[in-house]
Amino acid sequence: MTTQPILEVESLTLAAKSQEKLVHNISFSLERGESLGLVGESGSGKSLTLRAILGLLPRGVEQTGGTIRSKVSSSMVFQDPRGALDPLCPVVKQLTEVVYYRQKTTHKAARTIALELLERLGLPDSLRTKDRYPGQLSGGQCQRVVIAMALACKPGILLCDEPTTALDVTVQQQIMDTITSLQRELGFAMVFVTHNLAIAANLCSRLVVMKQGRMIEHGETHRLLRQPAEAYTQMLIDSVLPLPELEGGRTSWN
């Protein structure tokens, strides 16, 4: 049985105001509940593609071609969690405001929902009783707050822009596990930007490989990693270390 995609990106082209093309002719689709990874080297256009889907291109960049059709709402988890939070406002208050405006509840109900979300994301109980500012939380805790904010918008698609890059590897794993279990529970689809092929392999059923603003190849994750059609994809695979751990473990590609 084929299902209708909830997101269709067709021939997306983005350019700087100077007319320099930054993303050329990118096409992919996403089904309900699916996880798609955008992988590739730094500067390959992954974040701009994600921002185009969100409808929030940075100043100086515009869509000059193609279409983006989405049947559901999207929200985004950015790379730098501290930068995404207001340093002068307690985190519970920030999350409560998002719930209040996006879920159109009373302030009291919004606070209850905000606290439930924070508990679901494994944040400490002390947030209930004491005002905590972003500067008083660890990087991993800030990222959990930012994920809670994105989920408070009840997105059909969660757009993740390297959400664990700024965190140490153990916290990275915890955050990835949290995102995976929330996705199973809430059923949102995901577009996940990362330059870490191992993370993408664990998380995504399909991958789009990008280089210098172009789509090099795309396809089902395990097929693409076992039999890459392009030398660039093979080069990305070869640059993943340490391979011995991947061969024996659950991230085996062969």
Ligand X SMILES: Nc1ncnc2c1ncn2[C@@H]1O[C@H](COP(=O)(O)OP(=O)(O)OP(=O)(O)O)[C@@H](O)[C@H]1O
Q: What is the CA radius of gyration of the chain?
A: 19
Total binding residues toward ligand X, as defined by CB under 6 A: 15
Residue closer to ligand X by CB (options 21, 222) is 21
Residue closer to ligand X by CB (options 42, 129) is 42
Q: Of the candidates 6, 36, 48, 166, which one interacts with ligand X according to CB under 6 A?
A: 48
Taking the CA of residue 9 as centre, how many other CA atoms within 13 Å lie in the half-sphere pointing to its CB? 24
Residue closer to ligand X by CB (options 46, 144) is 46
Q: How far apart are CA 62 and CA 227, in angstroms?
A: 35
The interface with ligand X within residues 190-209 (CB under 6 A) comprises 195
Residue 48 vs residues 130, 148, 161, 163: alpha-carbon distances, Å: 38, 23, 10, 15
Residue closer to ligand X by CB (options 43, 124) is 43
Taking the CA of residue 166 as centre, how many other CA atoms within 13 Å lie in the half-sphere pointing to its CB? 17
Under rule CB under 6 A, residue 68 binds ligand X: no
Least distance from C-beta 237 to ligand X, angstroms?
17
Q: Which one of the spans 1-9, 45-53, 70-78, 235-243 is the region binding ligand X (CB under 6 A)?
A: 45-53
Under rule CB under 6 A, residue 176 binds ligand X: no
Residue closer to ligand X by CB (options 35, 44) is 44
Locate 217 and state its tokens: 């190849």
Residue closer to ligand X by CB (options 65, 90) is 65
Under rule CB under 6 A, residue 22 binds ligand X: yes
User: What are the b/e assignments for 210-231, b being 16+ CB within 10 Å?
Assistant: bbebebbebbebeebbeebeee
Q: How many angstroms separate the first and last alpha carbons of the chain?
A: 28
Instruction: Answer yes or no: are the C-beta atoms of 82 and 141 closer than 8 Å.
Output: no
Whether the CA torsion 250, 246, 33, 115 is positive or negative: it is: positive
Q: Which one of the spans 36-44, 130-138, 180-188, 236-244 is the region binding ligand X (CB under 6 A)?
A: 36-44
Under rule CB under 6 A, residue 43 binds ligand X: yes
Q: Which one of the spans 46-54, 86-94, 109-117, 182-190 is the region binding ligand X (CB under 6 A)?
A: 46-54
Amino acid at 13: T
Under rule CB under 6 A, residue 47 binds ligand X: yes
Give contact residues for ligand X (rule: CB under 6 A). Answer: 16, 22, 40, 42-48, 58-61, 195
